[in-house]
């Protein structure tokens, strides 16, 4: 990210606004691939600011559409 302050600063601003909207937030889910550079950067930034706002990050990695289709079919 080329913004001044980087991904962590932008994430902190977004989470500050989110916390104002949902003041009792205790846990935040993150859905993203483990191989996407953007998802990895966002997850790292979320983890670094979560304690400041008093909530936990729960990561739910995506593993590919084919695997999800098999899981839905019970294979």
Q: Residue 53 has which token pair?
A: 């706002």
Higher pLDDT, 22 or 69: 22
In sequence order, the β-bridge partners of residue 30 are 59
Residue 67 has pLDDT above 80, yes or no: no
Threshold 0.75, pTM exceeds: no
- In this prediction, residue 17 carries a pLDDT of 92
Alpha helices in 1-75 (DSSP H): 6-21, 37-53, 65-73
> Where does the pLDDT of residue 61 fall: very low under 50, low under 70, confident under 90, or very high at 90 and above?
confident
């Amino acid at each position: 990210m080329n913004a001044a302050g980087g991904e962590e600063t932008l994430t902190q601003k977004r989470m500050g606004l989110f916390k104002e909207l949902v003041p009792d937030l205790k846990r935040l889910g993150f859905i993203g691939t483990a191989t996407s550079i953007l998802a990895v950067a966002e997850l790292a930034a979320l983890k670094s600011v979560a304690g400041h706002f008093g909530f936990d990050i729960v990561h739910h990695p995506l593993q590919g559409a084919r695997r999800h289709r098999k899981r839905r079919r019970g294979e």
